[in-house]
Amino acid sequence: MTKPQFNNKLTLPCGSLVGNRFLKSAMSEALASKDHAPGRMLERLYATWSEGGAGILVTGNVMIDSSQLGEPGNVAVENETHMDLLKSWAKSGTSKGNHLWVQLNHPGKQSPGFLNPEPMAPSAVPLKLKGFKPPRALEQDEIQDIVYRFGRSAAIVKKAGFTGVQIHGAHGYLVSCITTMTGRTLAFQKIPLISAKYRLNRKMEN
């Protein structure tokens, strides 16, 4: 069997064609404006990365809720207020024909105390690190809202010209905690995990 070369094209299961096998993984840039909008710095950065030739570029840590940030300088996509800036970012980041995916995230309990005095999590289990406030457990309506927010943010960035999204499901952030079978409240037990994943996928498709 011939081994695939890194510069070979790749068709993803969704049907998208990627120019090669190189992917620039997500790294949190912390370059947003005070109102959590992207700007010229992100445009220049991703134009440079596009010049680098990777088939897929993944942005870092774009928040679905501006009141729940992972660190200062996060871009947040909640509505179409900054659509023109998002379009400029997408255009710069795909200038050489590559894919540009947005990493969407909710930090959960890992939202620093100086940014968020009341972080939210699947359960009120505190993060055992300095600088983080004890979280409160999410209510069922808040869980539904978060599912909706992921879908809405995905739809907005798709409209802006980004070619995909990545849901951040690692490193102890909210989705990571939700998909852990221990430590979830009764509110989560009422919403089977597989059902929540299905609804999130449907939101993104629409």
Q: Would you say residue 198 has pLDDT above 50? A: no
Q: Would you say residue 5 has pLDDT above 90? A: no
Q: Would you say residue 92 has pLDDT above 50? A: yes
Q: Record the pTM.
A: 0.86
Q: Would you say residue 206 has pLDDT above 90? A: no
Longest dimension (CA), the chain: 56
Residue 81 structure tokens: 């207020």
Report the pLDDT value the prediction gives residue 205, as an integer from 0 to 100: 55
Q: Would you say residue 173 has pLDDT above 90? A: no
C-alpha 150, offset from chain centre: 8
Average pLDDT, the chain: 88
Q: Identify the CA nearest to 77 among candidates 161, 155, 177.
A: 155
Residue 53 structure tokens: 């030739």
Chain segment 31-76, per-residue pLDDT in tens = 999 999 999 999 999 999 999 999 999 999 999 999 999 999 999 9
Q: For a pLDDT cut of 70, what percent of the chain falls above it?
A: 85
DSSP the chain: -PPPPTTS-EE-TTS-EESSS-EE---------TTS---HHHHHHHHHHHHHT-SEEE---EES-TTS-SSTT--B-SSSTTHHHHHHHHHHHTTTS-EEEEEEE--TT-S-TTT-SS-EESS-PPP-STT-PPPEEPPHHHHHHHHHHHHHHHHHHHHHT--EEEE---TTSHHHHHTSSSS--HHHHTS-HHHHHHHHHHHHH-
Task: Please report the domains of the chain, with CATH numbers, ordered by start residue.
Answer: 22-205 (3.20.20.70)
What is the mean pLDDT of the segment spanning 179-202? 54
What is the mean pLDDT of the segment spanning 159-182? 85
Q: What is the gyration radius of the CA atoms in the chain, in angstroms? A: 18
Chain segment 116-134, per-residue pLDDT in tens = 999 999 888 888 888 899 9
